[in-house]
Chains A and B, each alone.
Chain A
Amino acid sequence: MSGTLDVIVRMVLTLALAMASASMLVWVERRLLAAFQDRYGPNRVGPFGLLQLVADSIKLFTKEDWTPPFADRVPFILAPTIIVATGLLSFAVVPFTAAGALVDLNIGVLYFLALSSLSVYSIMLAGMASNSKYSLLGAVRAAGQMISYELAMGLSVASVVALAGSFNLREIVAAQEGLPYVVLQPVAFLIFLIAGLAESKRSPFDLPEAENEIVAGYHTEYSSMKFAFFFLGEYLALVLFSSIATALFLGGGNGPWLPTIVWFAIKMAAIIYVFIWVRATFPRVRYDRLMAFGWKILVPVAILNLLVTGALVVARSAGG
């Protein structure tokens, strides 16, 4: 009985942590972007504008929740729930603390990759069900982009798995006790970050919702909380990718003096900062260039990296 309670408490805590950090991120991103852009950002509601988020949520809750008559109703409503559900489910395997994740899954890495693939359905369904031209363009872009970059991401993760000899995120973190993998696998780290940007549809890879080209892309027809769900899903993805990157490459919560969860948060924050910095700096790439970059540069480099890593691992185990 106490075991069940324990699991429930940990589940609630993990979910709360994920949701809270995703929603805090909205404020963090807006303030940081403002700093990059020489302006103030939200600073009216509450201290330092921290309650801006509350104001925004109330606004989104009270907006008319409208399903366009020309939309395909069931997938239209299903789509935003999928993106949040896959985002939240992925947090089950993130090893925030030394004790490991909520679920100590021996295929944690595969689980994360699988769920991030599933989130493509959300975007596709949203775009198709909306039955509008801009949404369709956004959905097609998103599907192509996410599937292409998934491959590069999987390959870059595979080199880490080869080094650690495990799919379990807790064991991967433990294997980095002395030396984080970013030192051994700088190429894989870069590929993972770039693919993470593309997977979470963030600038400069925000083509599926490029407002200057295709209005709002796949979520053009969405309003109220359904729109908020896409928004939340996106920020969840950002938190998720930064936490997985932390676990895979930066040694998770490993570090001196401070508790593991603090180290984990610091490393995550650093990666998120880079993501926001990139957003403030770069223009958006064009669709054909995006695909060319993914298939002609990222994937071959990732394969090469994996081959070299694999050869070294085999040589080491044969020698030792």
Chain B
Amino acid sequence: MLDIREMELNMGPQHPSTHGVLRLILYLDGETVVDCKPVMGYLHRGTEKLMETRNYYQNVPFTDRTDYLAAPYMNLGYVEAVEKLAGWEVPERAQYVRTAIAELTRIASHLLWLGTHAMDIGAQTMVLWTMREREVVLDFFESALGDRLTTSAFRPGGLRRELPDGWIDAVLAFCKTFPDRIDEYEALLSRNRIWLARTVGVGVISGQDAIDLGLSGPMLRGSGVPYDIRKEMPYAAYDKVDFDIAVEEECDSYARYLVRLVEMRQAVLIVEQCLDALPEGPIQGKVPKTHKIEAGREVYHVVESPRGELGYYIVSSGTGVPYKCKIRAPSFVNLQSLTPMSIGRLVADVVTIIGTLDIVLGDVDR
């Protein structure tokens, strides 16, 4: 008798669409996924442990290298957690600039997501179009922050430096034209029948399941749960700007695609509001030179990164070096939903689902 058994397929860690070094062990019946086991840790660099050996200011570059596609957001969460821990004041101007840069980060991150997600599904033109606009955003980072990817954008207590001349006008000009570009992306995908066939009803996770799994960000809002930390627990200057949070009820990949598109449009509005209302004044508050924070304090601070709830739990040691720093990485938690979404689907859907998760392996493994 022929022995009929499942095929064990090792997808990754070097596979074109696992977005880095994720490894999936797929058990296939034909092309149908019977079971899916994500294996991670290929990019583990011990960031959290390393952060216990440097002082608060020196730790900022470590946060760049976790979620490298949204480095300014990682910086923002970290410096705000430190400021909360120490009780340092941040000038208003710095808050506004931080908010604007954070939202530009969201645009850059979502653009890369959109391009690669579409490419995974086989639409190759999209990635080149989105890279075109992401390039502009990265140029803004380069001129204002000194780097394109690993920005180390902020420092505890404020900003590293003042915005360069003409930067605000250039960003506002980009904000004028960018919504038209989003319209172009939508023209290519939103009503494309193949795109709909590949994303509608794929990667379904109900609102309750999403909450139970601890999902956050577009993964949660795509399942009809209107939870956005920017509204729930405002930080930086988010309480001073007016914006809507994107929610879709359909719980599938297409819903999350729509959520991220709306988030890009809203991000443009937030950037415009921040830069229009940018107050004059200092950019750096008073911070002790040694960054010394008294012992025994602890803080958990969350921000809404492009991928979801990004949390920093920091315990002070009485010196300028933290006793412990734990990062609640949204990619890591969201990755949990991969297996329940993939079982019973086809191999091609697994690729869609990895794409819709929008994971960054640097963030998963840290």
User: In the bound complex, what is the Cα–Cα distance between A280 and B118 (angstroms)?
Assistant: 12
Which residue on chain B has the smallest CB distance to residue A289?
B197
Would you call A37 and B128 a contact (CB within 8 A)? yes
Interface flag for B241 (CB, 8 Å):
no
Give min CB distance, A285 to chain B, whole Å: 5
Give A133 to B15 CA distance when docked, in angstroms.
13
Stretch of B281-289, B336-344, B346-354, B356-364 on the interface side: B346-354
- Which residues in B have their C-beta under 8 angstroms from that of A37? 124-125, 128-129
Q: Is B31 an interface residue (CB 8 A)?
A: yes
- CB B139 to nearest CB in A, in angstroms, measures 17
Contact A283 B118 (CB under 8 A): yes
Q: Determine the residue in chain A with the shortest Cβ distance to B122.
A: A284
Q: Which residues of chain A from 194 to 217 have a CB within 8 Å of any chain B CB?
A: 203-204, 206-207, 210-215
Q: Chain B's nearest CB lies how many Å from the CB of A275? A: 14
Query: Per-residue CB proximity of B233-269 to A under 8 Å, as 1/0?
Result: 0000000000000000000000000000000000000
B17 near A212 with CB under 8 A, answer yes
A215 CB contacts on chain B under 8 angstroms: 15-16
Query: Which residues of chain B are near A285, meaning CB under 8 Å?
Result: 194, 197-198
Contact of A283 among B7, B16, B195, B349 (CB under 8 A): B195
For residue B188, CB closer than 8 A to chain A, the reply is yes
Greatest chain A CB density within 10 A among B124, B129, B197 is at: B124
A207 to B192, CA, bound (A): 18
Nearest residue, chain A, Cβ from B199: A283
Residue of A nearest to B348 (CB): A286
Residue from the list B15, B16, B128, B194 in contact with A39, Cβ < 8 A? B128
- Identify 14 residue pairs between A and B in the complex whose beta-carbon atoms are under 8 Å apart, listed by A's number: A33-B125, A38-B129, A137-B31, A203-B124, A211-B16, A213-B347, A280-B124, A282-B122, A283-B118, A284-B123, A284-B198, A285-B198, A286-B198, A289-B197
- Chain A residue numbers with a CB within 8 Å of B119 are 212
Taking A282-B192, A283-B195 as given, write out 12 further A-B residue pairs in contact, using a Cβ cutoff of 8 Å, ordered by the A residue number.
Answer: A36-B125, A38-B132, A204-B122, A212-B121, A214-B347, A280-B125, A283-B118, A283-B192, A284-B122, A284-B198, A285-B198, A287-B31
Q: Is B295 an interface residue (CB 8 A)?
A: no
Residues from chain A with a CB closer than 8 A to the CB of B192 are 281-283
CA distance A203 to B121 in the complex (A): 11
Asked whether B9 is an interface residue with its Cβ less than 8 Å from the other chain, the reply is yes
Q: Which residues of B contact A137 (CB under 8 A)?
A: 9, 31, 347
Contact B123–A283 (Cβ < 8 Å): yes
In the complex, the 10 A-B pairs of residues with the closest C-beta atoms, listed nearest first: A284-B122, A283-B123, A37-B128, A212-B17, A283-B121, A283-B122, A212-B120, A286-B348, A283-B194, A280-B125
A64 within 8 A of B: no
Give complex CA distance A118, B198 in Å: 31
Render A279-312 as a binary contact track against B, CB cut-off 8 A, 1 for contact: 1111111111100000000000000000000000
Q: Chain A residues with Cβ under 8 A from B348's Cβ? A: 207, 210, 213, 284, 286-287
Residues of B with C-beta under 8 A to A206: 122
State the Cβ distance, A312 to closest chain B Cβ, in Å: 31
Docked complex Cα distance between A280 and B192 (Å)? 13
Whose C-beta in chain A lies nearest to the C-beta of B30? A140
**Given the contacts A38-B128, A38-B132, A133-B9, A282 and B349 also touching, CB distance less than 8 Å:** no
Write out the residue numbers on chain A whose beta carbons fall within 8 Å of the beta carbon of B347: 137, 213-214
Cβ of A193 to closest chain B Cβ, rounded Å: 16
Cα–Cα, bound, A233→B16 (Å): 24
Residues in A whose Cβ lies below 8 Å from that of B349: 286
Nearest Cβ on chain A to B254's Cβ, whole angstroms: 12
Q: How many residues of B contact A (CB 8 A)?
A: 29
A70-103, CB < 8 A from B: none
Size of the A side of the interface (Cβ < 8 Å), in residues, is 30
Residues in A with CB closer than 8 Å to B31 are 137, 141, 287
Contact of A288 with B346 at beta-carbon distance under 8 Å, contacts A37-B128, A212-B122, A283-B121 already known: yes
Q: Mark B6-27, 1 if CB is under 8 A from A, else 0.
A: 0101000001110000000000
Please give me the residue from chain A that is nearest to B188 by CB atom: A281
Within 8 A of A (CB), among B118-143: 118-125, 128-129, 132
Nearest chain-A residue to B349 (Cβ)? Answer: A286
Given contacts A38-B132, A212-B16, contact A282 B194 (CB under 8 A): yes
Shortest beta-carbon distance, A287 to chain B, in Å? 6
In Å, the complex CA distance between A36 and B55 comes to 50
Determine how close the nearest CB of chain A comes to the CB of B105; give it in whole angstroms.
Answer: 23
Chain A residues with Cβ under 8 A from B16's Cβ? 211-212, 215
Alpha-carbon separation in the docked complex, A289 to B123 (Å): 16
Distance in Å: Cβ of B3 to nearest Cβ of chain A: 17
- Minimum distance in angstroms from A148 CB to a CB of chain B: 15
List B contacts of A279 (CB < 8 A): 124
Min Cβ gap A250→B in Å is 26
In the complex the two chains form, is A287's CB within 8 Å of B346's CB?
A: yes
Residues of A contacting B197 in the complex (Cβ-Cβ under 8 angstroms): 285-286, 289
Closest CB-CB distance, A277 to chain B, in whole Å?
10
Closest to B345 in A: A286
Asked whether, in the complex, the Cβ of A282 is within 8 Å of the Cβ of B128, the reply is no
CB-based contact B195/A133 at 8 Å: no
A284 and B121: CB pair below 8 A? yes
Q: B35: shortest Cβ distance to chain A, in Å?
A: 16
Task: Specify which of A134, A284, A285, A286 lies most central, judged by the most chain B CB atoms within 10 Å of its CB.
Answer: A286
A123 to B352: give the CA distance in the assembly, Å.
26
Chain A residue nearest to B31 (CB atoms) is A287
CA distance A191 to B124 in the complex (A): 24
Interfacial chain B residues near A286, Cβ < 8 Å: 197-198, 346, 348-349
Q: A210-B122, A215-B15 are in contact. Are A284 and B7 (CB under 8 A)?
A: no
A163 to chain B, nearest CB (A): 31
